[in-house]
Chain A
Amino acid sequence: MAMSHKARILAAAHRQAVDKLPFGARIDVWYNYHCAHGTLPEKYEGWNMVDILRDQGAGVQVRHMRIWKLEYDNLEVVTREDPPYTITEWRTPVGAVSLKTVFRPEEGSWIVYEVDHPFKSKEDYPVIEYIFQNTRVVPDLSEYQQKEKMVGEDGIVITGMDMYSPMQQIMRYWLGYERFFYELHDHPVQVGQLYELQKEVAKKKLEILGESSVEIPMLCANWSDEFHTPVFAKYFSPWLREASDYLHSKGKVTQVHSDGEMRRLIPLFLETGVDVAEAWTPMPMTSVTTGELRKAWGDKVTVWGGIPAVLFEPQYTDQEFDTYVIDLFKQIAPGYNFIIGMGDNLPFDGRIERVGRIVELIDKYGSMPMKL
């Protein structure tokens, strides 16, 4: 009997044999955009995303942000709307910080964007430290479980560390990238202290993940070598190693969302113990080919991705799309430890039929071991 999409994805993530090349497709940018604009293709009007992917014959990748809630002791969190922005304020006995975010699902996005970060000056260190020290992480699995049920054997619901590992959380969310690097230079002790405290919060998230049914917890996201390489060995690898070891002890494998330029992170990745590099985005969207990546990693890391988002756009002809996909198959043959997917999504002007076309090409060339 043929394996299900889910069984194939999980087997490849665990570096086990599969009958056919696994495919886990991600289309939420396309789906969110067209739902918001009322422009889904006629056939799919009123459909949910999972059913559209089923209709295309593809394995499903659905995102879920988190399986916990953050609750706070001894401080107040006040949120107010100032359209299009949301302002969140943490009021603590040692001071207050505020965050300004915007959410633009009509552009396809599933995440909020921080317009103004909580950390504004060094006076905010004690406040943010206080927030971290008074954060509780409480399991909140019901929505995830509903999505899991909806997807069933047809794919995977991806969730994990709130998207970010502790230092990435500080860089991206609390300080913002530029301020982060200034602060790391000017006040390394204070930044180090935030990191240690955020690690404690992260450990609580890991425990919840460890006890959950999440199969491939996502440990971090949105890497790009221009800004992550200098801090990777010190702040990313050790934590990712610790988190992966812990989750391995719970029978799980781990993944990261590696959707940016990875050239200089490729050698460093092997130190992390992470099993799956998801959203792998090769040339022409980055400088690295899948062949180069496979050469560097061998069978040590399972790669999920390989088809850059732009290939789905009308600027590439159907013929060029086929040629790219078949060439990718050649680069990864015999095909083990690989899950075909998007780098990182179907863009809103992308052609949904090409998802189905990948399924046809896998049916034609993707029986294991692939011989091309």
Chain B
Amino acid sequence: MIDYSALKKAVIDGDDERTAQLVKEAIEQHADPADIVTLGLQAGLVTVGEKFSSGEFFIPEMLLAARTVTRSLDIIRPLVSDSDMITAGKVVIGTVVGDLHDIGKNLVGMLLGGVGFDVLDLGTDVYPKRFVTAVMEHKPDILGMSALITTTMPAMEATIQALESANIRRQVKVIVGGAPVTQHFADQIGADGYCSNGGSAIELCNRLVGR
């Protein structure tokens, strides 16, 4: 039985080299790749998210941990290419039209990528139509929208309406976030989820895809 606590700690420390070394060691010991990912890498990243949510960690720690996990997944991926273990689900994410703020959105995208979601980032200033096209084309499980300005928040509602008009609203879970966005607003516009920070985005998306 492999002890994954050292691997988890290496992720929390954002220590690329140590993480890669521990992943290779676990593979040599015939560990199940799914366990390496979930009990080591992703468990570490979830803790990092929690530490960020509680204010103990800052953005650099999150970024480094997410990168560490992404790099380690590259070591594991060839071993499990036919398994769906690594892909928790597909997420399309973007900052809504009129809004160019992307720091929070990028962070959320990286964290979700780190815990196994396949993330497609549409960037900033994304029109409702473009979100709709991306949902049609990529069939994500989750559509994530970020807004940092109160005056751009209505674009989230417009996007949900555009999904409805295109008859694809039920195909995808919609989550919203960004400093001025609230749970109340998310409920009002008919989103499926809201989270106040990057750390809780992991938990929310896992819940929405039934993980």
Q: A residues bordering B, Cβ < 8 Å?
A: 102, 104, 107-109, 113, 115, 177-178, 181-182, 184-185, 224-227, 229-230, 261, 264, 285, 309-310, 313, 347-349
CB distance A185 to B150 under 8 Å? no
Residue of A nearest to B66 (CB): A178
Q: How far is the CA of A66 from the CA of B43 in the complex (A)?
A: 48
Query: Contact string, B43-76, partner A, CB cutoff 8 A, digits 1/0?
Result: 0000000000001001111011001000000000
Q: Which residue from B58, B98, B110, B125 sits with its C-beta under 8 Å from A226?
A: B58
Q: How far is the CA of A184 from the CA of B67 in the complex (A)?
A: 14
Known: A178-B106, A309-B150, A310-B150. A230 touches B60 (CB 8 A): yes
Note all chain B residues with C-beta closer than 8 A to A349: 150-151
Q: How far is the CB of A357 from chain B (nearest CB, A)?
A: 19
Q: How far is the CB of A292 from chain B (nearest CB, A)?
A: 15
Does B80 interact with chain A (Cβ within 8 Å)? no
Does B34 interact with chain A (Cβ within 8 Å)? no
Residue of A nearest to B64 (CB): A185
Q: Which residue from A113, A115, A181, A313 sits with its C-beta under 8 Å from B59?
A: A181
Q: How far is the CA of A109 from the CA of B55 in the complex (A)?
A: 31
Q: How far is the CA of A108 from the CA of B151 in the complex (A)?
A: 10
Residue of A nearest to B107 (CB): A178
Residue of B nearest to A30 (CB): B151
Q: Which residue from A107, A108, A115, A177 sits with its C-beta under 8 Å from B103?
A: A177
Interface residues of B in 63-116 (CB under 8 A from A): 63-64, 67, 98, 100, 103, 106, 110
Note all chain B residues with C-beta closer than 8 A to A178: 63, 103, 106, 110
Note all chain A residues with C-beta closer than 8 A to B151: 108, 347-349
Q: How far is the CB of B11 from chain A (nearest CB, A)?
A: 15
Q: How far is the CA of A259 from the CA of B145 in the complex (A)?
A: 23
CB distance A285 to B106 under 8 Å? no
CB distance A227 to B100 under 8 Å? no
CB distance B59 to A177 under 8 Å? yes
Known: A309-B150, A347-B150. A104 touches B59 (CB 8 A): no
Q: How far is the CA of A313 from the CA of B63 in the complex (A)?
A: 35
Q: How far is the CA of A176 from the CA of B131 in the complex (A)?
A: 25
CB distance A230 to B58 under 8 Å? yes
CB distance B180 to A229 under 8 Å? no
CB distance A181 to B63 under 8 Å? yes
CB distance B103 to A347 under 8 Å? no
Count chain B residues whose beta carbon lies closer than 8 angstroms to a beta carbon of A.
21
Residue of A nearest to B100 (CB): A113
CB distance B100 to A185 under 8 Å? no
Q: How far is the CA of A230 from the CA of B58 in the complex (A)?
A: 7
Note all chain B residues with C-beta closer than 8 A to A261: 179
Q: How far is the CA of A115 from the CA of B124 in the complex (A)?
A: 9
Q: List 26 A-B contacts (CB under 8 A).
A: A102-B100, A102-B125, A104-B125, A108-B151, A109-B100, A113-B100, A115-B124, A177-B103, A178-B103, A178-B106, A178-B110, A181-B63, A181-B64, A182-B64, A185-B60, A224-B103, A227-B58, A227-B59, A229-B58, A230-B61, A261-B179, A285-B180, A310-B150, A347-B149, A347-B150, A349-B151
Does B193 interact with chain A (Cβ within 8 Å)? no
Residue of A nearest to B14 (CB): A185
Q: How far is the CB of A315 from chain B (nearest CB, A)?
A: 8
Known: A227-B103, A264-B55, A310-B180. A184 touches B60 (CB 8 A): yes
CB distance B149 to A227 under 8 Å? no
Q: How far is the CB of B20 from chain A (nearest CB, A)?
A: 15
Q: How far is the CA of A185 from the CA of B55 in the complex (A)?
A: 21
Query: Contact string, B154-184, partner A, CB cutoff 8 A, digits 1/0?
Result: 0000000000000000000000000110000
Q: How far is the CA of A310 from the CA of B180 in the complex (A)?
A: 9
13 more contacts with CB within 8 A, not counting A104-B125, A181-B63, A227-B58, are A107-B98, A177-B103, A181-B59, A181-B60, A185-B14, A225-B58, A226-B59, A230-B59, A230-B61, A264-B55, A285-B179, A347-B149, A347-B150
Q: How far is the CA of A184 from the CA of B61 in the complex (A)?
A: 12
Q: How far is the CB of B122 from chain A (nearest CB, A)?
A: 13
Q: How far is the CA of A227 from the CA of B110 in the complex (A)?
A: 16
Q: How far is the CB of B194 from chain A (nearest CB, A)?
A: 16
CB distance B63 to A182 under 8 Å? yes
Note all chain A residues with C-beta closer than 8 A to B149: 347
Q: How far is the CA of A348 from the CA of B154 in the complex (A)?
A: 13
Q: How far is the CA of A326 from the CA of B58 in the complex (A)?
A: 35
